[in-house]
Amino acid sequence: MSNSGVPRRVSRRSAIGTGLACVSSIGVLSGCQDTAATSLEQPAETVPRDARLRDLAARRGLKLGTAVQSRYLARQDNYVPVLTRDFDLLVPEYEAQWKIIDSRPGSGRYDNVGRILDFAEANDMAVRGHAPYWHGLQPDWLNATLASSPERAERLLSDRIAGIAGRYRGRVRSWDVLNEVIEPDDGRSDGLRRTAFLTAMGPGYIDLAFRAARAADPAARLVLNEYRTEWAWPQGRKRRDALLRLLEGLLSRGVPVDAVGVQGHLAPALDGYLNAGALGEFCREVAGMGLTLSVTELDARDTGLRGSRAERDQSVADAYARFLDVMLAQPALDAVLTWGFSDRYSWFTKFFPRADGQRVRGTLYDVDYVKKRSWFAVANALAGG
């Protein structure tokens, strides 16, 4: 485990126990930002308080993105101003998932994804697509159909990919063609997850998916998106190994994979949440295959963390910094996306609630859109080096 040490630019002492008058305050965004900024003990390289993350990223040749939901784009609160200020790349958080688009076969509810694309284009932002097939949000009817008629698998998968990637051809910068196809705990020697498509048609479903995506939108970057690639423990190592072997096989067969997405859902309460050395080595191997890297779903939950809110916020900020220290050092990196940006609308609230009932503080802004230590950690990481 090489989780040792805090990256150079992160001050361990920063801000713990200092004034947090604004953290839970409401409303006045700019005033709060100022207070929050000055309440931090300034680390060596501190960005101006009015810096925009997208500008800091652009100076490194990176896009800075986040996951959005269409309904929030219509809110009258600070969601849209903060979004357009800090980010230049959007990904639908879940509205492009198969279960949402085709809750019934062929129902084709694309309106909300269309809203996100229209918003992005109106605001000069790029778009990522997520995800034509993910076992976590596949329609119920699909399971039943694949179980009873596995011979329909190829057609179902290629139609789904052609349907969504073809519909938005030319408008989507990159597609997470498949999401989380590795699961060492499923017990296969190749480490592949036993998805419904794997059961129906074997590992070739992965080849087929990428070929279908290339045909549907030749200009889009095709991404294999995976989680827990940063983990220590044997599970992390097995996952990285399985993914590298899968990529080697795909590339040797001429399957059009362009990039690996490193999700980055960080859990600093767990000892082995980050093996920085192994993550860096993994990234170098991916890049050595000629592939691009993206951080696709970055956040860091305080679920399970004890201590004061300031201490927890600092642990969360440190997690962002440690992870970005590895990822920003990769020349093959093209983008960093966070999974939402305000604790007001984070999936953590539902999926990883704190035992004490307090809201999870895993994103860059609190519920009132006040910048937290994590925002400064990301800004400093982007500004440094």
Q: Could you tell me if 57 and 63 are in contact, meaning their C-beta atoms sit under 8 angstroms apart? A: yes
Residue nearest to ligand XIL (CB): 347
380 near ligand XIL, judged by CB under 6 A:
no
In angstroms, what is the minimal distance from the CB of 164 to ligand XIL?
Answer: 15
**Residue whose CB is less far from ligand XIL, 323 or 376:** 323
**Residue whose CB is less far from ligand XIL, 68 or 247:** 68
**Residue whose CB is less far from ligand XIL, 56 or 96:** 96
Buried b (16+ CB within 10 A) or exposed e, 312-349: bbbbbbbbbbbbbbbbbebebbbbbbbbbbbbbbbbbe
In angstroms, what is the minimal distance from the CB of 225 to ligand XIL?
Answer: 6
In angstroms, what is the minimal distance from the CB of 327 to ligand XIL?
Answer: 17
Q: Please state whether 191 falls in left (phi above 0), alpha (psi between -120 and 50) or beta.
A: left
In the three-class reduction of DSSP (H, G, I as helix; E, B as strand; rest coil), residue 321 is classed as helix
Q: Please state whether 147 falls in left (phi above 0), alpha (psi between -120 and 50) or beta.
A: alpha
In the 8-state DSSP scheme, what is residue 355? T
In angstroms, what is the minimal distance from the CB of 14 to ligand XIL?
Answer: 29
Q: Could you tell me if 264 and 296 are in contact, meaning their C-beta atoms sit under 8 angstroms apart? A: yes
94 near ligand XIL, judged by CB under 6 A:
yes
What single-letter amino acid sits at 203? Answer: P
**Residue whose CB is less far from ligand XIL, 32 or 172:** 172
In angstroms, what is the minimal distance from the CB of 180 to ligand XIL?
Answer: 6
CA distance 91 to 297: 10
Owner of token pair 């859109």 = 369
In angstroms, what is the minimal distance from the CB of 302 to ligand XIL?
Answer: 17
| Cβ burial, residue 150 (10 Å; 0-12/13-18/19+) | middle
**Residue whose CB is less far from ligand XIL, 71 or 194:** 71
179 near ligand XIL, judged by CB under 6 A:
yes
CA distance 109 to 102: 7
In angstroms, what is the minimal distance from the CB of 102 to ligand XIL?
Answer: 16
Backbone angles phi, psi at 83, to 5 degrees: -60, -50
In angstroms, what is the minimal distance from the CB of 205 to ligand XIL?
Answer: 18
In angstroms, what is the minimal distance from the CB of 72 to ligand XIL?
Answer: 12
Number of residues engaging ligand XIL in binding (CB under 6 A): 8
CA distance 286 to 241: 11
Query: How many C-beta neighbours within 10 Å does residue 241 have?
Result: 15
93 near ligand XIL, judged by CB under 6 A:
yes
**Residue whose CB is less far from ligand XIL, 22 or 220:** 220
**Residue whose CB is less far from ligand XIL, 10 or 93:** 93
233 near ligand XIL, judged by CB under 6 A:
no
205 near ligand XIL, judged by CB under 6 A:
no
CA distance 259 to 181: 14
Owner of token pair 């085709």 = 102
183's tokens: 């699961």
Per-position x/- string for 128-167, each x denoting binding to ligand XIL as judged by CB under 6 A, each - no binding: ------x---------------------------------
72 near ligand XIL, judged by CB under 6 A:
no
Q: Could you tell me if 199 and 244 are in contact, meaning their C-beta atoms sit under 8 angstroms apart? A: no
Residues 346-365 that bind ligand XIL (CB under 6 A): 347
CA atoms within 13 A on the CB side of 77: 12
**Residue whose CB is less far from ligand XIL, 178 or 383:** 178
Residues 263-302 that bind ligand XIL (CB under 6 A): 263, 297
**Residue whose CB is less far from ligand XIL, 227 or 323:** 227
- The residues of the shown chain that bind ligand XIL, judged by CB under 6 A, are 93-94, 134, 179, 227, 263, 297, 347
